[in-house]
Structure formats: structure tokens, C-alpha cells
């Protein structure tokens, strides 16, 4: 690493306090915090420090010092909202107008990406506009329009910071890329093409001073300063959503499952004419038309459509690649240490905490593994939280927190032989990953942002803010 880049890198991280949660899944996307004194039992009536109305949006909260920031939307407006961490009071709101309507599959929505902060500014990405930057006092610094995009199910990767660059991965059906923008002015520094068959949905991480992007069928490393492709690891899954976890020279990469033909044709209503095939004419989005033709060329009979035999035949081949893999990085190459294909989450990312690797999947199935070998320590259901999971688990204070779609928060004693301590029910839909701060946990539901703290750390009077006009 060049001296100047190293200085920028160190400065970018030195501004963070231990309390900060600066990007999707916190420090470097690990989902782990050094915070202590976190509550075990909490809900809308207990251990509640404050509750504030939040706009619609599935993006997760980030924290910089005494400020909490979320992204959201209302009609055609794209919103960035800042709250006071101590009281939940809304400090400022900024908005911009969407430039178009991007294709998306629920629960993906117009504000799916989590902002990133360097402790001085906040950087937000909206697929139907582009990137925008604000100071932590709410003053707009710059805007950089991007797109349009052509992803299969909508863009969901979040921006991250590497030194003084804002990094964005945009995997689509065509014209996929990863790019760096100057955090001072939003100008493009470099853009590297990422050819792929279908889109990816993972957010990058930085590992060993390399930018790591999980994409369809391969994991790739780039230089954060130039965008130069450094190395890649093949035989990865076809539909990456989870964020890779970096631990020294080792990466843990989970890839989600690909839906069977029945789910595509019936569940997602893709077979519009009911003929048992998926044809380009049934997809108004050009990206899907191209995906159908590409899959037919690669796995079908070349008739321009996909039937159940062709799709599920291709799926059988792709499922052999869907796995949780441990890769050791040595001398510019990725060496696979182990791989497992059992009980993989579709969306939630793994979390490595106190030398145990955890996976949470639909049905409330929690698995703890030995990160050195991939061997299972314990697997079981989170009784009382048997549900779908979109949020990634987070960990701190000897505990693991797993948030389900219906708003159930399982609190687990972190250990190889983990133990369920409590299940807290918020009674609201939840898709955002929680943020952890010293003494508290921030949870965004469909309509609100909550801050829960242990009773000994609660303010004398808890704050419950009424709806404020956006």
C-alpha cells in the first residue's frame, strides 16, 4: 500500500469512537461491537429509552457519535433522516426526488441501502437516483446521479468507505461494475466492469487492505485505490446476498439459495400465460428478457424459453456451488479451507464472534460452527422466534441478537453450545439489521426506530416521539 493511501486509511478509521456503527453491519461489516451492558429483555414497554417515527425503508441504522442516521422514502421523495442518539429527537431531514422507477421484488423497496459515515459526513445511495452526501449537521455536500440499473430483483448493495473513497458495487444482469467516488466531491475515481450472468446483492468489505466483492459464481478482490482486479475465487454461489466476514487472512463467504422453477413461475407469478415456461415476452424488464435468454443458452435447448426441466437442471448445477466457504488469502491467492452446504441462510450474513461462527436461517434455525473446520457445534430452533429472517444477526456483550421478519428478537448467550436467553416481541415487521451502541441496541421496524437500553442506563423519562411530518 502506498504511504498516502495508508495515511488516508488510518485517518478514516481513527475518527470512529467505540460507540460508532458506521456502515451496514457495523465496523467493516462484521456485525460485531465491543459495546457492553446490553439489555436481554425489552419491548415497547420495557427497557425502552426512546421510540421515534421513521419513514418507510428497509435500510439499517448507522451511528456516528451522538447521531443516528437512516434512509427512507415517501412517494417519490428519497429521505435521509438524523436522530439524536440520547433522546431520539429528529435533528434533521434531507430529501431528493427519484429520477425514475427501478424494478424491485418485495421486500426490496426504494430505500434498501444502508448509509455509510466517516464520522464527519454521511453517504447514502438510492437506486433510482444515485449517491448523495451530507454533513452530520444536515448540510448537503454533493450529489452524483447514477443508473439506470437493470437488476433482477432490485439493487440492495450498500455503499462503504475505503480511505477517502465511497465504494459502490452494482451487480446487474448487464453492465455490472464496482466503482469508487471521491468522498470530498462525489467525482468518479475509477470504475471496473464485473461481467456476470445475473445480479448480486452483497455489500463489499475490506480485508487485508483489499476490496472484497462477493458476486455471482466468484469472489473478487480489487485495489481500493485503483480498482485493479487482484485475484478471484471461483465456485461461489449464483445469488450472493450475504456480506463476507473478514478475520485476519481468512474470509467466510455465504451464498444464498436459488429458487426452484415453481417458486419463480407460480410464487413470483413469472409464468404470466400459464404455459409452463418462462419466456422473454413475459418479462417487461429488458434485464429479465436477457436473463431468460442467457439461461436458455447456457442450460436449455435454445428455444428462447425456460421450462421446469431446464431451470431445475440448471439449479441442480448451481446448488452445488451454494455454500458457506472459508477462504485463506495467501500471496495474492484464495485457498479454500473448508466448505459446507447445510442450513445456509438465504439473506442474513454470518457473524463471527468469540471464535464461533453463527448462521441464522428461516425457521429460526441457529447454527454455531467451528471457524477453523466448519464442524457444527450446535444447531437448533430459536423457540418462540420460528419465522423468516432478513436482518443479519449482530453480536456484543457476550450475546447474539437475531431479529425476525415479524419483529421477534432472539437474544442468545454466545458460546459454541449457545443458549437462548429471551425472545422479545416488537409486533412489527422488521427487515433492517440492528445497530449496537454502548449500553443499547437500535432496531428499525416498518414504521419506527427504537433504542433499547438496560434499566440502569435508561434516562429518568423515556422518550416516545409522535409522528412528525416528513
Q: What's the confidence (pLDDT) of residue 291?
A: 62
Number of helical H runs and strand E runs in the chain: 4, 35
Cβ neighbours, 10 Å, residue 250: 19
Quote the CA–CA distance of 33 and 207 in Å, as a whole number: 18
Residue 10 has pLDDT above 70, yes or no: no
Q: What are phi and psi of 65, to 5 degrees?
A: 65, -120
Residue 463 has pLDDT above 90, yes or no: no
Quote the CA–CA distance of 118 and 128 in Å, as a whole number: 24
CATH code for 3-257+322-464? Answer: 2.130.10.10
Mean of pLDDT values over 26-35: 95
Q: Please give the order of strands across the beta sheet that includes 351-353.
A: 351-353, 356-361, 365-369, 376-381
- Domain borders along the chain are 3-257+322-464, 258-321
Mean of pLDDT values over 325-351: 91
Quote the CA–CA distance of 394 and 410 in Å, as a whole number: 11
Q: What are phi and psi of 291, to 5 degrees?
A: -65, -40
Q: Which of 161-175, 228-242, 245-259, 282-296 has the lowest mean pLDDT?
A: 282-296
Q: Which of 64-68, 235-239, 264-268, 332-336 has the lowest mean pLDDT?
A: 264-268
- Smallest CA-to-CA distance from 255 within 349, 377, 367 is with 349
67 CB burial (10 A radius; 0-12, 13-18, 19+) = buried
Q: Please give the order of strands across the beta sheet that includes 205-207.
A: 205-207, 210-215, 218-222, 229-233
| Residue 178 and residue 227 in contact, taking contact as beta carbons nearer than 8 Å | yes
The DSSP line for 248-266 is TTEEEEE-BPPPPHHIIII
Instruction: For 300-329, give one letter per residue: b (16+ CB within 10 A) or e.
Output: beeeebbbbebbbebbeebbebbbbbbbeb
Residue, of 300 and 202, whose pLDDT is higher: 202
Q: pTM for the whole thing? A: 0.86
CATH code for 258-321? Answer: 1.10.238
Mean of pLDDT values over 299-306: 82
338 CB burial (10 A radius; 0-12, 13-18, 19+) = middle
Q: What are phi and psi of 12, to 5 degrees?
A: -65, -30
Quote the CA–CA distance of 167 and 170 in Å, as a whole number: 10
Share of the chain above pLDDT 70, in %: 87
Residue 376 has pLDDT above 80, yes or no: yes
Band of the pLDDT at 318, cuts 50, 70, 90?
A: low
DSSP state of 267: I
Q: What's the confidence (pLDDT) of residue 3?
A: 34
CA 353, 424, 468: angle at the middle one, nearest 5? 105
Cell of 288: 429479465
Task: Name the one residue in this structure whose C-alpha cell is 461494475.
Answer: 177
Mean of pLDDT values over 375-379: 97
Quote the CA–CA distance of 317 and 310 in Å, as a whole number: 11
Quote the CA–CA distance of 345 and 11 in Å, as a whole number: 35
| Residue 442 and residue 51 in contact, taking contact as beta carbons nearer than 8 Å | no
Note the Cα 428 to chain centre separation in Å.
20
Alpha-helix runs per DSSP H in 277-424: 286-299, 308-319
DSSP state of 393: P
Quote the CA–CA distance of 42 and 103 in Å, as a whole number: 37
Quote the CA–CA distance of 463 and 146 in Å, as a whole number: 39
Cβ neighbours, 10 Å, residue 441: 27
Band of the pLDDT at 276, cuts 50, 70, 90?
A: confident
Q: What's the confidence (pLDDT) of residue 317?
A: 62
Residue 175 has pLDDT above 80, yes or no: yes
Cell of 51: 421510540
Cell of 266: 407460480
With H, G, I as helix, E, B as strand and everything else as coil, classify residue 383. coil
Mean of pLDDT values over 439-457: 91
Band of the pLDDT at 238, cuts 50, 70, 90?
A: confident
Q: What's the confidence (pLDDT) of residue 290?
A: 63
Mean of pLDDT values over 444-461: 84
Q: What's the confidence (pLDDT) of residue 358?
A: 98
In this structure, the dihedral spanned by the alpha carbons of residues 367, 171, 13 and 9, taken in order and rounded to 10 degrees, is: 130
With H, G, I as helix, E, B as strand and everything else as coil, classify residue 279. coil
Cβ neighbours, 10 Å, residue 65: 15
CA distances from 287 to 135, 152, 193 (A): 36, 7, 17
Quote the CA–CA distance of 160 and 259 in Å, as a whole number: 29
Residue 8 has pLDDT above 70, yes or no: no
Residue 137 has pLDDT above 90, yes or no: yes
pLDDT, averaged across the chain: 87
Parallel, antiparallel or unpaired: strands 463-464 and 48-53: parallel
Q: What's the confidence (pLDDT) of residue 123?
A: 98
Q: What's the confidence (pLDDT) of residue 264?
A: 60
Mean of pLDDT values over 103-112: 84
Q: What's the confidence (pLDDT) of residue 379?
A: 97
Amino acid at each position: 500500500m502506498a504511504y498516502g493511501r495508508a495515511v488516508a486509511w488510518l485517518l478514516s478509521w481513527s475518527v470512529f469512537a467505540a460507540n460508532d456503527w458506521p456502515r451496514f453491519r457495523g465496523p467493516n461489516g462484521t456485525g460485531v461491537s465491543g459495546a457492553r451492558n446490553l439489555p436481554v429483555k425489552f419491548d415497547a414497554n420495557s427497557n425502552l429509552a426512546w421510540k421515534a417515527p421513521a419513514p418507510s425503508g428497509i435500510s439499517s441504522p448507522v451511528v456516528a457519535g451522538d447521531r443516528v442516521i437512516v434512509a427512507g422514502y415517501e412517494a417519490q421523495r428519497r429521505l435521509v433522516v438524523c436522530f439524536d442518539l440520547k433522546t431520539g429527537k429528529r435533528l434533521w431531514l434531507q430529501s431528493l426526488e427519484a429520477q425514475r422507477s427501478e424494478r424491485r421484488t418485495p421486500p426490496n423497496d426504494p430505500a434498501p441501502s444502508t448509509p455509510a459515515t466517516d464520522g464527519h459526513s454521511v453517504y447514502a445511495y438510492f437506486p433510482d437516483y444515485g449517491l448523495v452526501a451530507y454533513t452530520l449537521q444536515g448540510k448537503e455536500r454533493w450529489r452524483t446521479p447514477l443508473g439506470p440499473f437493470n437488476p433482477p430483483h432490485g439493487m440492495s448493495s450498500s455503499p462503504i468507505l475505503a480511505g477517502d473513497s465511497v465504494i459502490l458495487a452494482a451487480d446487474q444482469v448487464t453492465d455490472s461494475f464496482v466503482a469508487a467516488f471521491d468522498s470530498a466531491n462525489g467525482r468518479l475515481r475509477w470504475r471496473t466492469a464485473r461481467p456476470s450472468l445475473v445480479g448480486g446483492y452483497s455489500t463489499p468489505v475490506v480485508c487485508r487492505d483489499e476490496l472484497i466483492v462477493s458476486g455471482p459464481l466468484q469472489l473478487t478482490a480489487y485495489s481500493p485505490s485503483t480498482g485493479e482486479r487482484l485475484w478471484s475465487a471461483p465456485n461461489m454461489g449464483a445469488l450472493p446476498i450475504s456480506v463476507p466476514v473478514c478475520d485476519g487472512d481468512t474470509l467466510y463467504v455465504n451464498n444464498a439459495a436459488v429458487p426452484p422453477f415453481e417458486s419463480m413461475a407460480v410464487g413470483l407469478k413469472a409464468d404470466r400465460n400459464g404455459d409452463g415456461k418462462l419466456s422473454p415476452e413475459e418479462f417487461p424488464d429488458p434485464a429479465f428478457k436477457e436473463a431468460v435468454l442467457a439461461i436458455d443458452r447456457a442450460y436449455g435447448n435454445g428455444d428462447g424459453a425456460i421450462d421446469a426441466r431446464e431451470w431445475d437442471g440448471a439449479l441442480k448445477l448451481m446448488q452445488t456451488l451454494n455454500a458457506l466457504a472459508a477462504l485463506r488469502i495467501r500471496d495474492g491467492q484464495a485457498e479454500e479451507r473448508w466448505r459446507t452446504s447445510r442450513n445456509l441462510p438465504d439473506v442474513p450474513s454470518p457473524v463471527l464472534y468469540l471464535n464461533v461462527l453463527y448462521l441464522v436461517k428461516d425457521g429460526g434455525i441457529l447454527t454455531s460452527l467451528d471457524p477453523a473446520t466448519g464442524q457444527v457445534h450446535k444447531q437448533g430452533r430459536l423457540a418462540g422466534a420460528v419465522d423468516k429472517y432478513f436482518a443479519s444477526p449482530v453480536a456484543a456483550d457476550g450475546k447474539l441478537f437475531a431479529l425476525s421478519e415479524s419483529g421477534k428478537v432472539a437474544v442468545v448467550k454466545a458460546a459454541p453450545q449457545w443458549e437462548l436467553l429471551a425472545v422479545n416481541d416488537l409486533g412489527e415487521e422488521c427487515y433492517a439489521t440492528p445497530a449496537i451502541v454502548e449500553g443499547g441496541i437500535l432496531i428499525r421496524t416498518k414504521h419506527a426506530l427504537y433504542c433499547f437500553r438496560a434499566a440502569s442506563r435508561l434516562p429518568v423519562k423515556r422518550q416516545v416521539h409522535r409522528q412528525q411530518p416528513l
